[in-house]
Amino acid sequence: MIVKEEVLSKLRRYFDLNLYEVRIWTALLSRGVSTAGELSDIGHVPRSRAYDVLESLEKKGFVVMKLGKPIKYIAVEPAEVVERVKKNIQIHADQSVMKLKELNNTDILKDLDTLHKQGIEFIDPTDLSGAIRGKHNLYTHLELMVKGAEKSVTIATTPKGLVRKVEALKPLLQKLSKKGVSIRIAAQLTKETQNAVKDLKGVADIRDCGKLAARFCVVDGRNLMFMVMHDEEVHPTYDVGVWVTTPFFAGALENLFDVAWKDFEPSGKKFKE
Predicted local distance difference test score (pLDDT) of residue 227: 93
Could you give the percent of the chain with pLDDT greater than 90? 52
Q: Between 66 and 168, where is the model more confident?
A: 168
Whether residue 78 is preceded by a cis peptide bond, meaning omega within 30 degrees of 0, is: no
Sign of CA dihedral 91, 94, 100, 103: negative
Compute CA distances 227 → 126, 191, 205, 234, whole Å: 19, 24, 22, 11
Q: Please state, in angstroms and rounded to a whole number, the distance separating the CA atoms of residues 221 and 207.
A: 19
Per residue in 135-166, pLDDT (tens digit) is 999 999 999 899 999 999 999 999 999 999 99
Per residue in 50-86, pLDDT (tens digit) is 999 999 999 888 999 887 788 899 988 888 889 988 8
Q: Between 100 and 176, where is the model more confident?
A: 176
Q: Between 273 and 125, where is the model more confident?
A: 125
3-state secondary structure of 269: helix
CATH 3.30.565.10 for the 5-81 domain, yes or no: no
Question: Any bridge partners for residue 65, and if so which?
Answer: 73
Q: What are phi and psi of 181, to 5 degrees?
A: -75, 130
Task: Report the CATH fold assignment for 122-270.
Answer: Endonuclease; Chain A (3.30.870)
All structural domains of the chain with their residue ranges: 5-81, 122-270
Per residue in 116-133, pLDDT (tens digit) is 566 545 555 555 568 899
Per residue in 38-50, pLDDT (tens digit) is 999 999 999 999 9
What pTM value is reported for the model? 0.59
> pLDDT grade, residue 11 (50/70/90)?
confident
Give the Cβ contact number of residue 179 at 10 Å.
Answer: 9
Predicted local distance difference test score (pLDDT) of residue 272: 47
Predicted local distance difference test score (pLDDT) of residue 118: 63
Could you give the percent of the chain with pLDDT greater than 70? 92
